[in-house]
Amino acid sequence: MTQAQNAHVTGTASGNPANGPASDKDKALEVATPPSNKGEHSQPRAKHDSADDNVLIRGLRVAGRSFATVWSVPKARFGIILFSLIILIAIFAPVLSPYNPKQTGFETNAQPSLSHLLGTTASGQDVFSQLIWGGRISVMVAMIAGILSTALAVVIGLSWGYIKSFGGEFVGFIVNLFLVIPQLPLMIVIASYLQNGGMKVIILVIVFTGWAWGSRVLRSQTQSLRSRDFVTAAAFSGDSAARIIFHEIFPNMLSLIINNFFGAATSAALAEAGLEFLGLGDSTTISWGTMIYWAQNNGVILTGQWALLLAPGLMIALLAVSMTFINFGVDRLSNPRLREGSSR
């Protein structure tokens, strides 16, 4: 009994119910598996040097294939294009904006015209330029707060899900506490305590109030993965809990984590706008949230300058929409069943 006979079983394992649970699991885990590169892998490789290289190439291949999967979903394609557009506008703001956004001295409360596409504010600033510059803060806050709260959710969710002990109960209590406290009032209370701290405070407040849901979701997935044989096997191989969490479990839920990131970033963008609209941010910076704050303060509805409210509001909505749409594609990544088409 050697390899020649072993070779029978490769082949059309998928779609063969006789494999039962095995093939199902294979499918579920396929998510982050690199593409089958049947031709390449058989080359013997040099002793040591290519080890890191290999990991890098494998990582890139996974990323490439994951992107292709997300891109294949029309909704996600729309989201990616929209999102890239917003990012590009934010990056090239100095080139794109016709005026300095803080420059005063134009005619005040002007209606939209060719020289001021969206009109001017009560203090005589060009609204269109503000709109272009304002994206920088909004996108940056969304990204940073999204990354930080996801990181916090990952660390707490994964260890909470993996370690069964009294510590777990305690973490559970804290998470549940954060889940039941209404987020907006909590944010308002904290932000008004730490007034005038600028963007950093806004980000911290959003992260502090927004991590709990993600950690709850990631914990559930961790609990389901921790009973898999390969996790038990790693424990038998003598790996520590931390190593098992980050080397065995974490890579297998990457798509769920990315999903969580876009969700967190979306709510961060909305929360940032909300806090600034309430005047809890730094009202001297220019962001979409502060634009609405000033527009409201100056009663633009009464002067008929609808664009001052609508334009930044629409941009915030588009940013949130783009990330939500990207998540449709990421969903497909984490649930391979969605990949096979609508037939099942």
Partner 1 sequence: MSLLHIDHLSIEYDTPGTEPVKAVHDVNVDLEQGEFVGLVGESGSGKSTLGFAITALSRPPARVSEGKVIFDGVDISTLNQEELRKQRRGGFAMVLQSGMNALNPVRTIRNHFMDIFKAHEHVQKDRREARAKELIEKVGLPANTLNRYPGELSGGMRQRVSIALALSLDPKLMVFDEPTTALDVLVQHEVMNTIRELQKSEGFTAILISHDLGIVLESTQRVLVMHNGRIVEDASSREILEHPKDDYTKMLLSHYGDPRAEHVSVPGLRTRENANEAYKENAHAEDNRTALTVSHITKIYPAHKRGDGEVRAVDDVSFTLDPGQSLALVGASGSGKSTIAKMITAVENPTSGVITLGSKHIEKMHRGRDLRALRSDIQMVFQDPYAALNPLHNVEYILSRPILNYTKLKGSAARNRMLELLEFVGLTPVEQFAAKLPHQLSGGQRQRVVIARALASDPKVLIADEPVSMLDMTLRAGILALLDDLRVRLNVSMLYITHDLLSARLITDNIMVLNQGHVVERGETSKVLQHPHDDYTISLLDAIPKLQVGEQA
Could you say whether residue 105 binds partner 1 (CB under 8 A)? no
Residue 63 found at the interface with partner 1 (CB under 8 A): no
Q: How far is the CB of 101 from partner 1 (least distance, A)?
A: 46
Residue 194's SS3 state is coil
Name the residue nearer to partner 1 (CB basis): 253 or 270. 253
- Cβ neighbour number for residue 74 with a 10 Å cutoff: 11
Task: Determine, following the binding rule CB under 8 A, whether residue 39 of this chain makes contact with partner 1.
Answer: no
| Structural contact between residues 226 and 162, judged by C-beta atoms closer than 8 angstroms | yes
User: Does the footprint of partner 1 cover residue 159 (CB under 8 A)?
Assistant: no
CB 157 within 8 A of CB 215: yes
52 binding partner 1? (CB under 8 A): no
CB 79 within 8 A of CB 321: yes
Point out which span in 31-39, 111-119, 169-177, 330-338 binds partner 1 (CB under 8 A): 31-39
Question: By C-beta, is 25 or 102 nearer to partner 1?
Answer: 25
Site for partner 1 in 224-243 (CB under 8 A): 228-230, 232-239
Under the binding rule (CB under 8 A), the answer on residue 94 touching partner 1 is: no
Tell me if 284 contacts partner 1 by CB under 8 A: no
Both tokens of 119, joined, read 């009109």
Nearer to partner 1, 196 or 224 (CB): 224
CB 209 within 8 A of CB 190: yes
Number of residues that bind partner 1 (CB under 8 A): 57
Draw the binding track, 247-276, toward partner 1 (x: CB under 8 A; -: no contact): xx--xx------------------------
Q: How far is CA 215 from CA 159, 190, 260, 290, in A?
A: 10, 21, 9, 31
Helices marked H in 116-165 — which ranges? 127-162
- Residue 4 interacts with partner 1 (CB under 8 A): yes or no: no
Among 2, 114, 166, 284, binds partner 1 (CB under 8 A): 2
Task: Identify which of residues 229 and 284 has a Cβ nearer to partner 1 in the complex.
Answer: 229
Q: Residue 250 burial (CB < 10 Å; 0-12/13-18/19+)?
A: middle
Nearest approach in angstroms of CB 45 to partner 1 is 6
Q: How many whole angstroms separate alpha carbon 156 and alpha carbon 148?
A: 12
In angstroms, what CA-CA distances link 139 with 40, 61, 106, 132, 287?
41, 28, 28, 11, 9
The residues of the shown chain that bind partner 1, judged by CB under 8 A, are 1-3, 5-23, 25-26, 29-30, 32-34, 36, 38, 41-42, 44-45, 47-48, 54, 228-230, 232-239, 247-248, 251-252, 340-341, 343-344
